[in-house]
Amino acid sequence: MKKDDITTEEKIINASIELFSEKGFDSTKTSEIAKNAGIAEGTIFRYFKTKKDILMSIVTKAIQFFSEKFVVLPLNKILHTEKPEEEILFDLLKDRYEMITKNFSIIKVIGTEALTKEKIRERLVEHVAIKTLEIGEEFYQKGVEKGIFRGLSPRTVVRSLFGSIMMLIAEQQFLPDDKKSKDVDKEIRMIVEIFMNGIKSRKE
């Protein structure tokens, strides 16, 4: 494939990500993608037979990319350090916050379309969700064996932890500016504090 061809394909994909994120897959027309990409509508079909092919190309590439670069490698790197558990958890949640925030448009597309499209959902579960859970569960189980964490269900704990950071991300993305947190690091440290020590009052 020629360099110009690659550039045009990338324009189509980038324009599609922006529109799918804003309007959803079903509400986006190929004419709108073409206009956003600065090309003729017919050019799209030199690269993709249908609009669905564009979506599947985006999702397949994105999930494979996120799985290795943004899930497996960074999680393993963060969780296999010699820092105290509190600092490891802070680094982990801060890394997830920054990664998801930076790539929110494509993640929004994948998440939205996964709700109604089985193939996308299957790939997301296989390459991202299961791997994330397994890495998190391994970290928690090792903490249990060291006597640092309680012997609770690792999956439930990991789900609760990542659910907290996802809620913070949602607030920062969707709430009005005056309702957003002004200190994300402080919020993340509070999540870690709750995770490590709970919310029950410690009376003398």
**Structural domains of the chain ordered from first start:** 1-49 (1.10.10.60), 59-197 (1.10.357.10)
Of 58, 51, 29, 65, the C-alpha closest to 120 is 58
Query: What is the reported pLDDT for 89?
Result: 92
CA distance 9 to 39: 11
Q: What is the rounded radius of gyration, in angstroms, for the C-alpha atoms of the chain? A: 20
pTM of the model: 0.73
> Which whole number is the average pLDDT over 39-64?
84
Residues whose CB falls within 8 Å of the CB of residue 158, separated by 6 or more in sequence, listed in order: 132, 133, 136, 137, 140
1 or 155, greater pLDDT: 155
pLDDT > 60? residue 6: no
Section 50-75 average pLDDT: 76
pLDDT, mean of residues 9-13: 86
**So what's the pLDDT on residue 65?**
67
Tens of pLDDT, residue by residue over 96-154, are: 898 888 878 778 878 888 888 888 888 888 888 888 888 889 989 999 999 999 999 99
